[in-house]
Amino acid sequence: MFGDLFEEDYSSVSNNNGKGKRLKTKALEPPAPREFTNLSGIRNQGGTCYLNSLLQTLHFTPEFREALFSLGLEELGSLEDKDKPDAKVRIIPLQLQRLFAQLLLLDQKAVSTADLTDSFGWTSDEEDFLDLTVAVKNVSGLEDALWNMYVEEEVFDYDNLYHCGNCDRLVKAAKSAKLRKLPPFLTISLLRFNFDFVKCERYKETSCYTFPLRINLKPFCEQSELDDLEYMYDLFSVIIHKGGCYGGHYHVYIKDVDHLGNWQFQEDKSKPDVNLEDIQNKEEVDDPLMILKAILLQEESNLIPVDQLGQKLLKKIGISWNKKYRKQYGPLRKFLQVHSQIFLLSSDESTVRLLKDSSLQAESDIQRNDQRLFKTLTSESLTLNDRPSCPHWFDINDSTVQPIKERDIEQQFQGKESAYMLFYRKSQLQRPPEARANPRYKVPRHLLSEMDAANIELQIKRAECDSTNNTIELHLHLGPHYHFFNGALHPVVSQTESMWDLTFDKRKTLGDLRQSIFQLLEFWEGDMVLSVAKFVPAGLHVCQTLNGDDLALCEIEITDGEDIFVWNGVEVGGIQIPTGSDCEPLLLNVLHVATSSEGEECQQLIESPHVFPSNAEIGTVFTALAIPEGVILINNTESRGGESWITIPKEDLKKTFREQGLRNGSSVLIQGSNNGNSLLTKQGKWIDTVNEINWLQVKNLSQLESEEEQVKISATLNTVVFDIRIKAIKELKLLKELAENSCLRPIDRNGKLLCPVPDRCTLKEAGLKMGSSLGLCPGKAPTSSQLFLFFALGSDVHPGTEMEIVVEETISVRDCLQIMLNKCGLTGETWHLRKMDWCFEAGEPLCEEDAKLKELMICSGDTLLLIEGKLPPLGFLTVPIWWYQPQGPLHHWKDHQDQTNCTLSQGSVWKASSTPGAPSDAHAEVSLWYLGDLEISEDATLGELKSQAMTLPSLEFSIPSPAFLRAWTVENKRPGRLLRGHQQQLKEYKLGKRTEICLEPLQKEENLGPWDVLLRTQMRLPGKRAYGLPVDVLWDTARGWTASSLRQRVADVYSLPVEKIEIAKYFPDKFAWLPVSSWNQQTTKRKKKKKQDNLQGAPYYLKDGDTIGVKNLLVEDDDDFSSVRDDIGREKLKEVALGKRKSREALRAQSSDVSSVEMPAQARGPEASLSIHVGSFR
C-alpha cells in the first residue's frame, strides 16, 4: 500500500574522482535498540495510531498470541510460496505472527507494520471479542451504564402499549436485556462522540466517566447461579483518544500480564555504588577513566545518555565534570571520543556505551544478547516488581514505551485525553510459570531463527554505521611528487599519482595518523610534517601545519575530504615553500599593451593570467611583466552604471594585493607612462578618469594637543584602516610615536565610541561607510585572537558609563569575571556575568564558568554585566518566593496573618495602597511579601517547590499541605501566569533563570484541569462606584471561550438570571473596564467570513487571574463600570504622559541648539509597516 516509503535504507553515496573534495552523504542510521523498558513500540505510518494500539493490545493478550503461534505451516502455508499460483497461503495471520515475534524478540525501539498493512484491505469479518457499546453522556461510569442497559426494565403501558404478534392486540409488557454468555475477553466501546442537534455539529463528550480495575458482571447476566469468580473481570488494556471529534491521536495503556518488560522507573533505580567503593585513594579518584567506567558498569547494557552520565558523575563524587576535569581533560564528549578504545559514542553523540574487550562474534552472542534484552533486567528487579499488588502497566504511544503506575489510569476518566475503549479479561485466566519473563515462550522455531538472524544483522549494521559516521576520507598529497612554480604547488606527473586517499577514524589522534602514514609510505626518510592544504585557482597551497600529536582529529577540526600535504616542513624540490593564509597565491588577469617585434607599443591589449602572493606589493607587477614604470589600474566592480577603473597612486604601489582588495580573478590594467589615457577611451565601455574619492572624518581623541580637532581623510571601500590611521596622525600633526600605540574607533550617532577597528581590515571588511566618524584613540586595537568588551556594574546601565577591557577569546568566563572585578575594585565570589541582549537588558547568565568566551559566541563589542549573586549549580534554579495575600473572605489566613505581621513586615513588600477616603477596591490591591530564595532542581515538581517554600523561616503560617497553595509567576510586581499541575516538573513550565514565584493560600485543596480558567469576580456595589471583595470562579472552557458561556457561569455563581447581569474585564495598567458583549458571531465586510467568539483573543485576551466586574441590572442599570480609584489612576497616567512629552520637547530643543552637524546624514527611507501575528497560549 505504501510501497517502500517506510523501508530502511543504509546505503551511502560516495563520489571520489581522485581530486578535490569527496562528496559523502551521512549514512542512515539503523533502527535504535530497545530502551530501558525492554519493550518495542510500533512505528506510525501516518494515521495508524489506532491500529497500533489495537495490535499492541492483541500482542499483550497472551492467550491470543499463543493461539496465533500454534498455527503451523499446514494451516497457514509459507510466505515464500505466496507468489505461486496453486499455493494456499494465508498472508494476514503469517504477517501477524511475524509482527508479534518482532515485538517479542527483535532488538529495536519500534517495528514496522508496513508488511502487515500491505497484506490486507483494512477490513475484517472476524471478531474475536464480544464488543459492548455503552453510553457516556449523562452517565457517571461503566457500572452505571451497564445497570441502565441490563438491569432496569422498560415498561410499556398506558399510551405506550406493546403490540403482541401472537394475539394481535396491544398489551402491557416489560422489556429488558441480559448477558447470556460471558466470553474470556470483553471489549467495551465508549460512545465519546455525539451529535448536537441544536448546533448541528459533532462534539466529543469529555465529562467524567469512571471504570473499575476489576468488575463483577453477575448482576448483568441471565444466569447467576455460578460462583462469583466466574463473573469477575480484570482491566488489562485502555485505548485512549487525545483530541477532539475532528482529529486526534490514539495511544494505549496496557497491563504486562507476562512481565515481559522492565517495569522500573528511571528515578526509582537504586543500585549500590559498585566499583566506586573499591576506589581507595585520591589518585584513583582523580582518574576520570576509572570513575566513568565504574558508572557505566552499573547501567543496563552499559549504555547511558551522555547528559545523564555527567549527572551521575556529579551525584557520585559530589563535583561536576567541568569543575574537576575539564581544565585538564577538556569537555566530557571530547574525552569520550579520545578514549574510543574504551567508550563507544553513538553517531549523534547523545549516548555512550562501554566497549567489550573482544571483537564482535555474532553467532556466539545470540544467547547472551537475549539474556541482555529479556532476562537480566527482569531477574534483577524480580523482588521489587513481581509482587501481586504491583501490576505492570505501560503507556505505548506508537514508537514510545513508558512505564506507568496503576493510579495513572484515573487521569483518563475525563477531558480531551480520555478512555475510548476498555479491554477486560477473566480473572480466572492464569499464566503458566514458564511464560513469565520469557519472550521466547511458544514462539515457532522458524520465527526464533529469523529473529536471531535479524538481531545479528542489526548489530553488524550498527557497528558499520558507527564506523561510517566517525570515518573521514583524507587526501594525502606527497611532497616528493610535487614541484613549486608560478606561485603554487603542482603535481610532477598527474594528480592521480600524486594524491593518495586514506580512510581514517576521526576519534584517533594526530600521532596515530602520522604513524599510519609512516607505515603506508615505506620509502619515507627523515622528518614528516603534516599540513592542511587547499586548492586555489593557482594550484595547491599549504595553509596550516598540524601540531599536537595527542589531540584527536575532531579536536583540531579535520573534516571529511580534507587535503593533507605530507612534506619535511621546509622545502619541496629544493625551493622553500611559503605557507599560511597571508601569502595565499592570487590568480589575476593582467592586461597590458602589446609590443611589436621592434619593441614599440601597439594599440592592442593583451590579457594574460599571472600569479602573485597576496602579501606581495602591488608594484611587483612591473617586475613580472618587465615594464620599467607606468600606471596600474584595478577594476572597480562595485561602481554603479557599469564597469570602471581606479588608478592606484604611486605612494600606494607599496601596498599589498590584499590591502588593495584584489581577489582571485580580479583584473589589473598596466599602462605605460607615455601613452596617457587614450587607450581607455578606445576600449569603449571603460572611462579614462579617476573616480571621485570619498572621505572619512577622524577626530583627535588621543589626549594629545593638535592644531585641528578633526580632519577628513580620502579613502575608498578597499582602503586599509592602517593607512587611514597613519594619514590622520600626519594631518593632525601628532607625534610619530603615536603610530605604534593608537587605534581607530567608530563613533555612533550618540557619540559613543565603539569597538576598535583592526588595522589589517579594509573599510568594506570593517563595515564602515563613507562619511563615517572615527576617533583616534590611545591603545592598540585587539588582535584576531582577542576580544574588546564593554562591561558595567549592575543591570541599570546608562550610555557612556561602560568600562572597557581587552581579553583573549580563549579565556574562561571565571577568569574574565575576575579581571572585571579587579578593575572595578571588587572582591568576593557572589558575582556572575550576564550578556546584554539586543534590547539593552540583562540577558541569560553565563552559567558555564569554565567555558571559553569563544565557545559562548561572545564577540568584540558585546557588553557584559556584572550582577551580584552567585549562580546556582547547573540544572538548578534560584527562585525568589513571594507571599501573595489577596483581599477576600479568607478569615483563617487573615487572623493568622495578624499574629505574624511583625515577622512578615521585616521583608520586602510590594503593595498598591488604596486611595484615602475612597471605597475599598479590592481589584486594585496587590500585596506581595518577600519570603526568601529557593535553590531547587529543574527536575523537581511544582509540589516539591511548594513543600520547600513551606520550610522558609520567614513563613510562619500553618499550612496543611502544598495542595493548599496556589502558585503564580510574578510579572510587573503582580501575579502573572498560573502554574497548574502539582506533579509537573519545573523545567516544563519554561520558567527561565529570572522567574519569581508568589504563593497564594487556599482554604481547600485545588486541582485545576487543563481547561479550567481561574477568574476573580467582583460584584459592583450599587450607588457607591466601588466593588465588593473578590470571589474566585472556575470557568470550564472545554466547550470554548465564548462570552455566553462566561456570562452563564458568572450568573450561576451569583444566583442571578443571565439576562440581568453585565460583566466587564478590568485592565489594571490602564484603570479601564472593557464590557464583555454577548455577541456570538461577527461578519467582516470584505471576506464575509464568520469570526469566532473567543475571549482568549483580541480585545479581551482573557487569562487566569483576570478581574471580572459584575453588575446587577436589577438594582443598577447603567453602562459605567469605573470606580473612584479608576478616575484617580487615569488622572495620574495623564500627568505621567504629559511629563514625558515635556521632557521630549525639552530634549529636542536642546539638540537643536547644538552647532552644525559634523557629518552629512543620510535621508531615511519610509518605514515599512510590520505585522506580527502571535498565537494565544495558556
| Contact indicator for 34, 41 with CB cutoff of 8 Å | no
Burial environment of residue 395 by CB neighbours within 10 A (0 to 12, 13 to 18, 19 or more): middle
Name the residue type at position 914.
S
**What's the distance, CA 267 to chain centroid?**
24
CA distances (Å), 1097 to each of 119, 546, 1047, 1064, in order? Answer: 49, 60, 17, 15
| Contact indicator for 230, 428 with CB cutoff of 8 Å | yes
Residue 728 Rama label (left phi>0; alpha psi -120 to 50; beta): alpha
Where does 779-912 show beta strands of DSSP type E?
786-793, 803-808, 831-836, 842-845, 863-868, 876-884, 909-911
H or E element: which one contains 634? strand 631-636
Name the residue type at position 761.
C
d(CA 782, CA 492): 43
Question: What DSSP string describes 525-552?
Answer: -S--EEEEEEEETTEEEEEEE---TTSB
Query: Which residues lie across from 805 on neighbouring strands?
Result: 789
| Contact indicator for 970, 976 with CB cutoff of 8 Å | yes
Residue 1031: strand, helix, or coil: strand
H or E element: which one contains 171? strand 169-171
| Contact indicator for 1000, 965 with CB cutoff of 8 Å | yes
Residue 1110, all three cell numbers: 459584575
CA distances (Å), 378 to each of 13, 374, 1097, in order? Answer: 42, 7, 52
Q: Which residues are catalytic?
A: 49, 249
H or E element: which one contains 1049? helix 1043-1054
List, as own/partner pairs, every contact residues 70-76 make where C-beta atoms lie below 8 angstroms and the sequence separation is at least 24, other chains included.
Answer: 70/442, 71/97, 72/444
d(CA 637, CA 645): 8
Question: What DSSP string describes 1-60?
Answer: --TTTT-------EE--SSSPPEEPPPPPPPPPP-TT---EE---SS-HHHHHHHHHHHT
Instruction: Count CB neighbours of 84 within 10 A.
Output: 11
Residue 81, all three cell numbers: 510460496
Instruction: Count CB neighbours of 581 within 10 A.
Output: 12
Residues, the chain: 1178
